[in-house]
Structure 1
């Protein structure tokens, strides 16, 4: 069992590393070509069929790039296809989903206080949501609505918000955000695999056969590429969100997810406008900052919305939490709810090392990690994963009261 757990942990690490490498390659090439496309300039001397050109300098050399909206008059001798970055990003991401969330469904995927289902049922729901999400998206794009690019994007935003809410009704907060990222990334990768690359291959085949390619294939591919462009930044956030429990482990996590999608749009709009040499719309950053402040506010679950007392801002470091009157009850709570994993020798099945090296077995260790306990198990529901030890709302309030009381006592 020990060797199996170690091997599984290293498999997860390898899959994560593979995923990061391929994602960097995909996102990097995507951002580059979006910037290149928007920066193209039309000049009189361009060859027939060429839409625009761009001069760039990098690595000590100059590059002269021309773009054809449909295709050049003759088939080039060599073509470089940008597709495998997308494919392997999705494959490695799905591998991680299987290893971490399907393999550890009881711990990371299922929260029986949200929905009491078995691991096989949860996994089937997960798989079905990814597959049906692509089908629904593709049908929307091919419907009459698809001819209105911005109207289509508005409808797609409503769909994404609905999925954000739906996932939080099915899985743990952490798994909900991960699945929202996987749902979006599946659409993006499927756009490349099912639409963009096949359309480009049709154009290439027409050129080889001496036929004039139909421009509709390029137009459709362009629309899907635009969607991928605006979805990239939210996907990155959701894939990294497991490190930030105040985003996924709070009551209004699905609203936070909805706002993250808007932030992705405002940020990309600034870059797209700048690359197109149409100015620098600073208003987009103002909106982004406002959205982020709203997200921070929602993550604290203020009294206006829930009836709970809002948390005061606290310093990142503090001492003497063990002297607070709440500490005896907190120590008992941590011992019964947390220390089976956060111990030098964890007793929870499959855990052979305390997660992130955090041990909570004595007064000093609990006091040293007071801030993490407050955020992970008090202010958010990130810990215990899937609430596997059945921590109650009143116990979470105790952790909040302990932390805030100690901090207030130290600042007086």
Structure 2
């Protein structure tokens, strides 16, 4: 188990590093393209259609963009592809390590849908790669030539994916799968369109052939799609720390709403880069986020789950062994104040990670995680707020080992 945690840590670390490099490059080149200005005549005569001067790191930089290409291909030409590929590869590996290897813990929620690990994994992969196929087909169809209609289609695609994921998986697992779909679409844009178009352009310039304008237009369109996807994807990456979003009964709608508003906020900066100042876009985006926060935070009366109540009352001491009863009592004393359908903790008003230990069935379903966090890493309860003793941690460890 400790080795698994180290592998997970290094994979996640690498994923974040690669993601920062990819998103940073994406933001920079969109900014660069939007800030190019008409060059002087002597540059135009060399085939330069836009240039930009910048100062950074104690020096001046001059950047030029050619209408066709340089007279002679440089010996060293920098490509920007591995940032995208390594981000996707590490992200997919992380998805497998956490949500597929631990499907029973992180992906499956019996209160949402009864699934076996195999069924849950199959649905997850179908959502990701099925969504990619639908997106790629739409891009290559006449729909892809209409920004407005394609935007409506894209919103519908993400909405359907969010709805399905949130009705199949745990809230946390659902959000991460929608994020995996978006990340796969973004990496697919690089692999299926952006890089092939750039290879065609480089080959044409090297062989002194004409460049088809459609190559660059298609590649730039996919880059724009990726640019608007970045903020929604970043939200999903951090959402597992905020269960009030993915544990809400309308979690799929919250996900879509935050995605739309964050893409709208990104639109403000894209306009700003080309010299158009629209404070109204930023203001309405901020208002939208505030309204979402107010909506999610509104007190709501939740219907009593009679089946759950029956399960609790149907788990009396005489139905459990002495060891099981001692473990259940320990978890109720030290864990259920946060991990419950109705937490009593003064900070966590919604069960962190969506984990609930109200019944013995819920406890046994999460036995590996309880053992790992309470008896191995000993980081739970958080800051040992409830004062779990070493003897109680050993009790949980002994019980868990008896299961295997």
1:36 to 27, 32, 42: 32
> Does the 8 A contact of 1:168 with 1:176 survive in 2?
yes
2:131, 2:157 within 8 Å by CA — same for their partners in 1?
A: no
Work out which of the residue numbers 349, 352, 356 in structure 2 matches 1:374.
Answer: 349
TM-superposed deviation, 1:390? 4.6
SS of equivalent residue, structure 1 residue 107: helix
Indicate the residue corresponding to 1:252 in structure 2: 250
CA distance in structure 1 between the aligned counterparts of 2:166 and 2:358, rounded to whole angstroms: 12
Say how many residue pairs are matched: 340
After superposition, what is the alpha-carbon deviation per residue over 1:278-317, rounded to whole angstroms, capped at 9, x for unaligned?
22x11122212222122223323555xx677xxxxxxxxx
Alpha carbons 1:111, 1:387 under 8 Å: kept: no
Deviations along 1:262-281, whole A, 9 cap, x unmatched?
Answer: 122221111111111122x1
Q: How does 1:171-250 map to 2 (within 5 A)?
A: 171-250=169-248
- Is this contact kept in 2: 1:114–1:170, CA < 8 A? yes
2:306 alignment partner in structure 1 = none
Classify 1:276/1:28 alpha carbon distance in 2 versus 1 (closer, same or farther; 3 Å): same
SS of the equivalent of 1:55 reads strand
Partner of 1:156: 154
Is the 2:247–2:350 Cα contact (8 Å) retained in structure 1? no
Alpha-carbon distance in structure 1 between the residues aligned to 2:31 and 2:177: 29
Task: Write the mapping of 1:288-327 to structure 2, written as runs, cut at 5 A.
Answer: 288-300=285-297, 302-303=299-300
- Cα distance in 1, alignment partners of residues 21 and 74 from structure 2: 25
Matched, 1:285 2:282: yes
Could you tell me whether the CA contact under 8 Å between 2:39 and 2:48 is conserved in 1?
no
With over 3 angstroms needed to count, the CA separation of the structure-2 counterparts of 1:212 and 1:293, relative to structure 1, is same
CA contact (8 A) 2:35 2:52 kept: yes
CA contact (8 A) 1:106 1:386 kept: no
Contact map agreement 2:335 2:357 (CA 8 A) in 1: no
Q: In angstroms, what is the RMSD of aligned CA positions?
A: 3.2
Structure 1 residue runs without a partner (length 5+): 309-328, 337-345, 349-353, 392-412
Deviation of 1:258 after TM superposition, in Å, equals 1.0
What SS does the aligned partner of 1:64 have?
A: strand
Once the two structures are TM-superposed, the CA of residue 155 in structure 1 deviates from its matched residue by 1.2
Question: How big is each residue's C-alpha offset from its partner over 1:45-82, in whole Å with a ceiling of 9 and x where there is no partner?
Answer: 23344221110101111110011254334322321111
Q: 12, 16, 20: which one pairs with 2:12? A: 16
Higher relative contact order (CA 8 A, sep 6+): 1
**Kindly tell me: are residues 78 and 288 of structure 1, through their superposed partners in 2, closer, same or farther at Cα, counting changes over 3 Å?**
same
Structure 1 pair 201–302 and aligned structure 2 pair: CA distance change class (3 A)? same
* Offset, 1:375: 2.3
The alpha-carbon distance between structure 1 residues 176 and 362, as it changes in their structure 2 partners (threshold 3 A), is closer
Q: Distance in 1 between matches of 2:299 and 2:66?
A: 54
State the distance in 2 between where 1:133 and 1:183 align.
7
TM-score by length of 2: 0.77
Superposed, which structure 2 residues align to 1:78-227 within 5 Å? 78-227=76-225
Inter-CA distance 155–76: structure 2 relative to 1 (3 Å threshold): same
Structure 2 unaligned spans of 5+: 304-308, 317-325, 364-404
Distance 1:234 1:282 in 2: 20
* 1:251, distance to aligned residue in structure 2 (A): 0.7
The answer to whether the 8 Å contact 1:164/1:257 transfers is: yes
